[in-house]
Amino acid sequence: MRGDLVDRIMAIMEASFDPAYGEAWNRRQVEDALLLGNCHAYVVNPSGLPAKDDEPAAGFSLSRSGFEEEELLLFAVTPEYRGRGIGRSILDALYRAAESRGAKRLLLEMRRGNPAERLYRAFGFSTIGERKAYYRTPHGTRIDAITFAYQFEQDS
Ligand SMILES: CC(C)(COP(=O)(O)OP(=O)(O)OC[C@H]1O[C@@H](n2cnc3c(N)ncnc32)[C@H](O)[C@@H]1OP(=O)(O)O)[C@@H](O)C(=O)NCCC(=O)NCCS
């Protein structure tokens, strides 16, 4: 297990996810995912490029590949680096990596109302379903999950 990688992911996640929604994973969940051969972590520096060990980390994605599809499990950019295209560059890199792993579409699930929807739609994702009351906030409120997909065939 690459503890330094987990440390970097946890630091970005803790700075990025609003605790009001309970979306962040704990360390154990991240470690367990990374033990699986089909989960892929990608950490970028403030320029949106793959972060070297001695560079600060500004954002990351964690995805899981399945048969002809790749699911974005976690995705965040720390607040100080937002709004300059880093999120978009992570999605671009995910697309390329997923394609090289044989994916034909990307999937993700988002709580209803997350402003990230604008970025997903601009990228080319569209809604394919919803799970009513799927997320439960620490205060017990239920929020729907919206499932988005991006079909690679759109490119050709
Ligand atoms: C979603 C997230 C990764 C986007 O990162 P980013 O580096 O700011 O993304 P970009 O700069 O490439 O794109 C920003 C675009 O997304 C939209 N956007 C994304 N998150 C937003 C937010 N929290 N507030 C306002 N707009 C947001 C903006 O409208 C912007 O579009 P524009 O350029 O047309 O104005 C970042 O906001 C984040 O970490 N959010 C918290 C964690 C989270 O919710 N992750 C997604 C879980 S499904």
Of all residues in the chain, what percent carry a pLDDT higher than 70?
96
User: Which atom, in ligand 1's list, is nearest to the CA of 84?
Assistant: 11
Residue 138: per-residue pLDDT: 86
- In this prediction, residue 22 carries a pLDDT of 85
Residues with CB under 6 A from ligand 1: 16-17, 75-77, 82-88, 110, 114-116, 118-119, 122
How many angstroms is it from 89 CA to the middle of ligand 1? 12
CA 115 to centroid of ligand 1, rounded, Å: 6
27-82-125 Cα angle (round to 5) = 85
What's the gap in Å between 128 CA and the centre of ligand 1?
A: 20
Please, what are the domains in the chain?
3-155 (3.40.630.30)
pLDDT in tens, 20-31: 888 899 999 999
Q: Quote the CA–CA distance of 98 and 17 in Å, as a whole number.
A: 24
Adjacency order of strands within the sheet including 105-111 = 39-44, 59-66, 69-77, 105-111, 142-151, 126-136
Max CA pair span of the chain: 45
Give the pLDDT confidence score for residue 58 in this predicted structure. 98
DSSP 90-151: HHHHHHHHHHHTT-SEEEEEEETT-THHHHHHHHT-EEEEEEEEEEE-TTS-EEEEEEEEEE
Q: Which of 44, 119, 127, 150 to mutate to test the pocket of ligand 1 (most atoms within 8 A of CB)?
A: 119
Report d(CA 90, CA 131) in Å as an integer.
Answer: 26
Report how far apart the first and last C-alpha atoms of the chain are (Å, whole number): 39
> What pLDDT does residue 3 have?
65
Gap from CA of 79 to ligand 1 centroid (Å): 9
pLDDT of res. 153: 76
Residue nearest to atom 33 of ligand 1 (CA): 83
Which pTM was predicted? 0.93
- Cα of 80 from ligand 1 centre, angstroms: 12
Structure tokens at 128: 């394919």
**Rounded average pLDDT over 85-114:** 97
Report the chain's mean pLDDT, rounded to a whole number. Answer: 94
Q: Of the candidates 56, 94, 36, which has an alpha carbon nearest to the alpha carbon of residue 108?
A: 94
Flag whether pLDDT at 155 surpasses 60: no
pLDDT per residue as tens digits for the range 31-77: 999 999 999 999 999 999 999 999 999 999 999 999 999 999 999 99
